[in-house]
Chains A and B, each alone.
Chain A
Amino acid sequence: MAAHTGCLLEMKGIKKSFHQNQVLKGIDLDVKAGEVHVLLGENGAGKSTLIKILTGAYQKDAGEIYWEGSIVHLDQPVDAMKLGIATIYQELNVIPELKVYENIFLGRELKRGGKISLLHHRAMRKEAERCLETLGQNPKLANEQLGKLGIGQQQLVEIAKAIALEAKLIIMDEPTSSLSAQEVEQLYKVVEELKKKGIAIIFISHRLEEIKYLGDRITILRDGFKIKTLPVKTTEPDYWIELMVGRTLDEKFPKHSFALGKEGFRVENFVVKGAKEPVNFSVRYGEIVGISGLVGAGRTELARAIFGVDSHKGGKVYIDGKEVRIKSPRDAIKAGIAFITEDRKSEGLLLDQPLDFNIGIANMDKFKRGIGLLDLKALRKEALNYVKELKIRPDNIELHSRNLSGGNQQKVVIAKWLCTRAKVFIFDEPTRGIDVGAKVEVYRLMNQLIANGSIVLMISSDLPEILGMCDRVLVMNEGKLTANLPIHEASQDKIMKAATGG
């Protein structure tokens, strides 16, 4: 019995390879009861593989896992569940059609005694109420239909489910990435509650402020190695990043200022669904314009309408002073607009297709020769150029895009739009869920786009990013523009005020 360690979980020398590619090269990790243990690393550093081994989704090649001092084997997810390991994934595992308490008891419903074993709804509801209450939530939530709740509350239901399962360790994989500011606050409170109960939390996040705020210890991974475990409170985020990327990042926001040119892009009279006033704005050459606002302020809806994804009435788009008619994404692409969507996987990538095809898909005409056959060599060559230019890794264009890390997937999506020779680039949360190193690369690319005479618009919920990269910021609230600020006049307070309509 290794009780002397006093750890809830200890992983020692964990190794894992896929094909001949060693992803984990001997990782140690220990987690104590009641602590928030942060895992930090670039995309592809091995975080998700390590987590999947811990949840029983993958099997380790070598190494040992100790749980409360004794060695355990996690051959399948149910083994981890039985120990008391629960995971809150980015994509929530809930069934919107069912009620909250039914979700909490999904798969292990309480039954009445007797031969027919009917479901015991009242007991389940009571227990669900209790779990919600321990999280500081309104117990009445238990009887709501889950689909009617916001993302933040749905996530709390998942946490309540973990509590109902008497989890001792909860793994949270970027839990705040799709939450609004208020929901994030609420989650922080819940995490505090969990700590008080002695529940350990493995917390994966790229948001440094949040790590600093919540974390107790931080383990930094790079290239499949554990670099270091540090106390959070007495070390600096800059140092973590240094350890994480293996070099010092000169600057988080590589902002360049360019000479302001004439107006290149103008949007007139776009009425976002649910709003009363139309949206009007314009963008000049040489400036990056940010669109800020709370989740649900209508920013993505505006971009989708401009790009012709959703229909709109009466909105007009001008490029270089000339009106362009856009009824479908096809028209938008022809007009020279690119839309780098928020959700890479569901809207940007063909996950089971090779990289060259992913990159060329929006501009196949470019590779058409003679009687309409595609010049596959030219496609491969062009794709390879982008792979090199954007440093997409691995640099194998035959690989399916599913097999790339988030940051590299984002680069593939950007390459797709570069390949269309677009003039106007609308980025929607371009750095969500990608690591610090890849973020900087995306920012540099925006600089390059501006330098090459493109128009860049960036929708972002990340205020430091808006303040760090943009020359001007538009703020939206309930579908209308509430502020248009040059960056030197903008501040977090001013933006938040405009974003909340105050």
Chain B
Amino acid sequence: MNEVAVENKNDLSVKTENEHPKNKQTFKKVLSKLGPLLALIILVAVLTLLSDKFLTINNLMNIASQSSINALLGIGMLLAILTAGIDLSVGAILAVSIMFMGIVTVKMGLNPIIGLIVCLAVGTGFGFLNGVLLTKLHLPHPFISTLGTQFIGRGIALIVTAAAPIAGFPLMIQFVGNQFVGPIPVSFLLVIVVYVIFHIFLTRTKTGRYIYAIGGNPEAARLSGINVDRVLLIVYSLSGLMAGLAGLVMVGRVNSAFPLAGLNYESDAIAAVIIGGASFFGGVGTVYGTLIGALTIAVLRNGLNLLNVSADSQMAVIGIVIIAAVYVDVLRQRRSKNKK
């Protein structure tokens, strides 16, 4: 009896060791945040070595300008992907938006401000339609609804002018796409402003946080009193709005609206989001990462051009980069999963 009691006491004195992994954790956190940026820096370093034309103000501003359309589409795509969804219609929405803007400003000769509003409204409206299809018709996945609207949008863009392009936009509309403030393209400034707003939206507002919650666990979100349908409507409407905005930049750059504008742009936008570290399963991803993702693609395209790599081979290279970037992410997640 006594013996048991003594032994028992010994047993009870076992204590947990105090761990202090905080320093290492913050370091790892910084590193994981740096992940996508690190890849971009390496890419920049390599291209600087390979081409003396790469690291010049002129070329960097070129890249900034080239990245802006994809960056705008990417930020909308980020929202959709954060909710574990996707928006395949952004390229088509871009085309519809600018075709209508062209009709209003060039063909009807109305005030450019009205044209601008029409462009953004058409984009937002199409996005809203995506949201309605998803939440009210209960289509199983936004892949389906946005694939449908992609075709619808492209079809409408072709129908409205019988497939003819519209050129000769007023200067005011071209401003965003082709003007500079000092050496910096206005379109890139627009991207910065939009990204800051979206960063605040996603991290500091109720709806923004709900977007993460819905992507992470829709059932828990609903049971926590979140109006999931409303949030999804906002998400797809915003994605549509961004497609309209990207259209505005595009019209400025080429001074024309054509029905096949933005063809396959959704692929680049998805790539930017994924390279930026967002998870396809929702709930994980940052505005900052998406910007890095969009810049990475732009740098890659630009660099391959400087190196005289043909457009065809560029496609293949970008494909490899996407797969490599996601694979690195898979490895990272697997490691962190193994850690728990």
Interface centre among A334, A352, A365, A376 (most CB of B within 10 A): A352
Q: Number of residue pairs across A and B with beta carbons under 8 Å?
A: 111
Contact with A along B209-231 (1 / 0, CB 8 A): 11011001101111111110000
Structural contact, B227 and A328, CB atoms closer than 8 A = yes
Q: Measured between alpha carbons, how far is A372 from B12 in the docked complex, in Å?
A: 51
List A contacts of B200 (CB < 8 A): 373
Question: With contacts A227-B14, A329-B223 known, is A361 near B339, CB below 8 A?
Answer: no
Let me know if B219 and A346 touch, CB within 8 A: yes
Residue among B12, B204, B224, B339 making CB contact with A18, cutoff 8 Å: B339
Is A265 part of the contact surface with B, judged by Cβ < 8 Å? Answer: no
B14 and A352 form a contact (CB under 8 A): no
Instruction: Known A243-B8, A361-B213; judge A350-B206 contact (CB<8 A).
Output: no
CB of A349 within 8 A of chain B? yes
- The answer on a CB contact under 8 Å between B14 and A309 is no
Q: A309-B222, A339-B223 are in contact. Are A352 and B11 (CB under 8 A)?
A: no
Do A374 and B220 touch across chains, with their CB atoms under 8 A apart? Answer: no
C-beta contact mask, B150-192 vs A, less than 8 Å → 1, else 0? Answer: 0000000000000000000000000000000000000000000
Interface membership of chain A positions 382-412, coded 1 if the CB is closer than 8 angstroms to chain B and 0 otherwise: 0000000000000000000011000000000
B11 with A350: CB separation less than 8 A: no
Choose from B11, B17, B24, B225 the contact partner of A329 (Cβ within 8 Å).
Answer: B225
Residues in A267-313 with C-beta less than 8 Å from chain B: 307, 309
Q: Which residue of A lies closest to B15 (CB)?
A: A223
What are the residues of chain B within 8 A of A19 when measuring CB–CB? Answer: 19, 21, 24-25, 339
Known: A223-B16, A373-B204, A402-B340. A350 touches B212 (CB 8 A): yes
Partner of A330, one of B19, B219, B227: B227
Known A-B contacts A329-B223, A347-B219, A361-B213; A20 and B14 likewise in contact (beta carbons under 8 Å): no
Residue of B nearest to A372 (CB): B205
Query: What 0/1 pattern do residues 13 to 33 of B give for CB contact below 8 A with A?
Result: 011110111001100000000
A346: chain B residues within 8 A (beta carbon): 217, 219-220
Partner of B205, one of A22, A58, A374, A416: A374
Partner of A403, one of B203, B216, B340: B340
Interface range for B: 35 or more
Q: Are A227 and B11 in contact (CB-based, < 8 A)?
A: yes
Q: Flag if A20 contacts B24 (CB, 8 Å).
A: yes
Cα of A167 to Cα of B195 in the assembled complex, Å: 56
Q: Is B283 an interface residue (CB 8 A)?
A: yes
- Nearest-neighbour CB distance to chain B for A90, whole angstroms, equals 17
Q: Which of B8, B204, B206, B224 lies in contact with A416, CB distance below 8 A?
A: B224
Whether, in the assembled complex, B56 has its beta carbon less than 8 Å from a beta carbon of chain A, the answer is: no
Please report which residues of chain A, range 315-340, place their CB below 8 angstroms from some CB of chain B when the two chains form the complex.
328-330, 332-334, 339
B8 touches A374 (CB 8 A): no
**CB atoms of A246 and B12 under 8 A apart:** yes
B326 in the interface (beta carbon within 8 A): no
Q: For B24, B224, B227, which residue has the most chain A Cβ atoms within 10 angstroms?
A: B224
Q: Which A50-80 residues have a C-beta within 8 angstroms of B?
A: 58
- Asked if A243 and B11 sit within 8 Å, CB to CB, the answer is yes
- Complex Cα distance, B203 from A18, in Å, reads 29
* Chain A: minimal CB distance from B202 (Å): 11
B284 within 8 A of A: yes
Does residue B338 face the partner (Cβ distance < 8 Å to A)?
yes
A376 and B206 CA atoms in complex are apart in Å by: 11
- In Å, the complex CA distance between A302 and B257 comes to 57
Residues on A with C-beta less than 8 A from B17 are: 22, 25
Residues of A within 8 A of B206 (CB): 364-365, 368, 372, 374
User: Are B14 and A246 in touch, CB under 8 angstroms?
Assistant: yes
Q: Which residues of B contact A348 (CB under 8 A)?
A: 220, 223
Among A20, A341, A349, max chain B CB count under 10 A is at: A20
Contacts of B219 in A (CB 8 A): 346-347
Are A333 and B19 also in contact (CB < 8 A) when A353-B283, A372-B206, A373-B205 are? no
A residues within 8 A CB of B338?
58
B10 to chain A, nearest CB (A): 10
With contacts A20-B21, A351-B216, A361-B209 known, is A247 near B223, CB below 8 A? Answer: no
CB neighbours (8 Å) of A227 from chain B are: 11, 14
Q: Given A18-B339, A350-B216, A222 and B209 touching (CB < 8 A)?
A: no
Contact partner, A352, options B209, B221, B284, B339, Cβ 8 Å:
B284
- Ranked nearest first, the 10 interchain pairs of A and B with the lowest CB-CB distance are A333-B225, A20-B21, A362-B224, A330-B225, A364-B206, A350-B216, A373-B204, A18-B339, A223-B16, A19-B21
20 contacts between A and B (CB under 8 A): A21-B21, A58-B338, A227-B11, A247-B12, A328-B225, A329-B222, A346-B219, A348-B220, A349-B217, A350-B283, A352-B284, A361-B213, A361-B224, A361-B226, A372-B205, A373-B200, A374-B209, A402-B340, A416-B224, A420-B225
Interface residues of A (CB under 8 A from B): 18-22, 25, 58, 222-225, 227-228, 239, 242-243, 246-247, 307, 309, 328-330, 332-334, 339, 341, 346-353, 357, 361-362, 364-365, 368, 372-374, 376, 402-403, 416, 420
